[in-house]
């Protein structure tokens, strides 16, 4: 899957007495530009997701969030799988890391990348040259029919 955004850095502060805060750094893959922002949330994962949404401008509705261990021992890898909705379309994300907060961020960025790919395909931006050529004659035909209809109305036919 093509990446629009890539996680470059993550710092999270949380505790029982403070407000969970996350600072996230993302790279816009096409330009190589790196951007950073911070956000607070109801918990550390919520703070991470809010920061990512602010950076990308993509707001997802989180429908399901699951975390599990994929390896054992002190260096166990945690896997986060999530399902979300973006503009009425279902998207999913998966992230793996020894840090479950990092895995959460990776899963969310993955879901955002999928949402952006789906949006491009739905808008037709993902079509090849042949598909665009086939679509354009229909537009011309519709314009010709409309013009003919307007002429018929003017002449009383």
Break the chain into its structural domains and give their ranges: 5-123, 127-157
Contact predicate 21/13, CB 8 Å = yes
* Average of per-residue pLDDT across 109-129: 84
> For the segment 39-97, what is each residue's pLDDT rounded down to a tens digit?
999 999 999 999 999 999 999 999 999 999 999 898 899 999 999 999 999 999 999 99
At 137, the pLDDT band (50, 70, 90 cuts) reads very low
3-state SS, residue 97: strand
* Average of per-residue pLDDT across 9-20: 95
* Average of per-residue pLDDT across 95-103: 97
Compare 140 and 70 and report the one with higher pLDDT: 70
Edge-to-edge strand ranges of the sheet holding 33-40: 5-13, 21-28, 33-40
* Average of per-residue pLDDT across 106-110: 98
Look up the CATH architecture of domain 5-123.
2-Layer Sandwich (3.30)
What does the CA dihedral 107, 48, 11, 68 come to, rounded to 10 degrees? -40
Residue 141 above 90 pLDDT?
A: no
Q: Model's pTM, two decimal places? A: 0.78
Residue 152 above 50 pLDDT?
A: no
Contact predicate 34/50, CB 8 Å = no
Output the pLDDT for position 155. 44
Output the pLDDT for position 130. 46
Output the pLDDT for position 127. 54
Short-list 142, 68, 63, CA closest to 103: 68
Output the pLDDT for position 146. 52
Strands in 70-128 per DSSP E: 78-86, 89-97
């Amino acid at each position: 899957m093509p990446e629009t955004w890539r996680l470059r850095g993550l710092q999270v502060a949380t505790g029982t007495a403070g407000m969970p805060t996350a600072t996230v750094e993302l790279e816009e893959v096409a330009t190589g530009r790196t951007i950073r922002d911070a956000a607070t949330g109801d918990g550390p994962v919520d703070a991470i997701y809010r920061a990512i949404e602010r950076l990308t401008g993509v707001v997802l509705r989180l429908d399901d969030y699951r975390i599990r261990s994929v390896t054992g021992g002190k260096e166990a890898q945690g896997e986060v799988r999530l399902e979300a909705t973006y503009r009425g379309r279902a998207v999913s994300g998966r992230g793996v890391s020894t840090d479950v907060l990092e895995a959460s961020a990776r899963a969310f960025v993955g879901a955002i990348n999928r949402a952006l790919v789906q949006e491009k395909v739905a808008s037709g931006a993902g079509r090849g040259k042949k598909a665009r050529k086939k679509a354009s004659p229909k537009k011309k035909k519709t314009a010709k029919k409309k013009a003919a209809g307007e002429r018929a109305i003017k002449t009383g036919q």
